């Protein structure tokens, strides 16, 4: 049987063609932590410990998938998001760090407020509404999503963390059901926003494995989701309620103008930690 150190070297070397450095080392670390259920420190201290035959087989199965450039989050079946370990698979997008920044902005602006009414639109894995439900006291949180498969993942994540979110399966291009007019304090949305023409700029593993329904919009109508969700926001938000969009960095000024022209009192473009336009926040 192999040692922990030998397993790590095996993973690293086996995926080096599919994953450039330093990503290959980071992925090897994640696989070991997941399979052996040990922390980075525990693995470092126990480098000469032997792994079991079953663990060795799990590692080999993971390596075979990683060599096909399948995202490590799908291979391991989980992704970390704002303090939560979330189940993910090919039915949902892998949560991104930029989306954590949206959650963080919402929480900073509503710190200490209890009983808020919150709706997340295009909810996917449920990462946004679950992070908000975990951090907003006594909030009523809703997650809206057209994909039944994605909602299956979201429900599993809610059960996993014992968080209360009401899931709504419907198309946002139809009137929102079960939510009263002018009843919401917060709407969040990370809708599809990648233009078809941008496919050539994307990593092969994203194109091959992540759901295109949740990624792409037509080149001729890049703002289609923002227009519809803006209209929904005008109907569903209270006076003073806030709408938070994650955006394609190319859309900042356009989405801001769209919101102001529609009748929102204020709209602000917020940059992410990389200095790119990433969030637009508007006040009803």
DSSP per residue, the chain: --BHHHHHHHHHHHTTTTS-TTHHHHHHHHHHHHHHT--HHHHHHTTTSBPPHHHHHHHHHHHHHHTTT--HHHHHTEEEETTEEEE--TTSPPP-HHHHHHHHHHHHHTTT--S-EEEEES-TTSHHHHHHHHHSTT-EEEEEES-HHHHHHHHHHHHHHT---EEEE--TTSPPPS--TT-EEEEEE----EEGGGGGGS-HHHHHHS-GGGTEE-GGGTTHHHHHHHHHHHHHEEEEEEEEEE--GGGHHHHHHHHHHHT-SEEEEEE-TTS-EEEEEEE-
pLDDT at 209: 77
pLDDT at 22: 86
pLDDT at 203: 72
- Residue 138 — pLDDT band, cuts 50, 70, 90? very high
- Residue 174 — pLDDT band, cuts 50, 70, 90? very high
Q: What is the mean pLDDT of the chain?
A: 93
pLDDT at 202: 66
Q: Is the pTM of this model over 0.75?
A: yes
- Residue 102 — pLDDT band, cuts 50, 70, 90? very high
pLDDT at 271: 97
Q: Any idea which of 169-178, 193-202, 228-237 has the lowest mean pLDDT?
A: 193-202
pLDDT at 247: 96
Q: What is the pLDDT of residues 246-277, one digit of tens each?
A: 999 989 999 999 999 999 999 999 999 999 99
The mean pLDDT of 188-209, rounded to a whole number, is 77
pLDDT at 201: 67
Q: What is the pLDDT of residues 33-72, one digit of tens each?
A: 999 999 999 999 999 999 999 999 999 999 999 999 999 9
| 219 has pLDDT over 80 | no
The mean pLDDT of 227-247, rounded to a whole number, is 97
pLDDT at 18: 87
Q: Any idea which of 75-79, 193-197, 229-233, 266-270 has the lowest mean pLDDT?
A: 193-197
């Amino acid at each position: 049987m192999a040692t922990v150190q030998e397993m790590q070297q095996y993973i690293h070397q086996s995926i080096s063609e599919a994953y450039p450095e330093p990503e290959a080392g980071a992925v090897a670390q994640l696989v070991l932590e997941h399979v052996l259920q040990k922390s980075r420190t525990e693995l470092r201290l126990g480098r000469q410990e032997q792994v079991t035959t079953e663990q060795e087989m799990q590692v080999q199965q993971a390596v075979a998938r990683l060599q096909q450039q399948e995202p490590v989050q799908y291979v391991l079946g989980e992704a970390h998001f704002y303090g939560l370990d979330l189940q993910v698979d090919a039915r949902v997008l892998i949560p991104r760090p930029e989306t954590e920044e949206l959650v963080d902005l919402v929480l900073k602006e509503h710190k200490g407020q209890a009983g808020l009414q919150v709706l997340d639109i295009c909810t996917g894995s449920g990462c946004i509404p679950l992070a908000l439900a975990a951090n907003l006291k006594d909030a009523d949180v809703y997650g809206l999503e057209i994909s039944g498969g994605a909602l299956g993942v979201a429900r599993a994540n809610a059960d996993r963390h014992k968080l209360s979110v009401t899931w709504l399966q419907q198309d946002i291009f139809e009137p929102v059901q079960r939510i009263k007019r002018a009843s919401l304090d917060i709407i969040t949305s990370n809708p599809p926003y990648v233009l078809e023409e941008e496919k050539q700029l994307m990593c092969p593993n994203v194109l091959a494995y992540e759901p295109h329904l949740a990624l792409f919009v037509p080149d001729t109508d890049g703002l289609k989701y923002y227009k519809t969700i803006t209209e929904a926001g005008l109907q569903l938000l209270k006076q003073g309620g806030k709408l938070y969009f994650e955006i394609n960095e190319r859309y900042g000024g356009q989405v801001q103008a769209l919101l102001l022209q529609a009748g929102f009192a204020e709209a602000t473009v917020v940059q992410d930690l990389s200095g790119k336009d990433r969030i637009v926040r508007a006040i009803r």
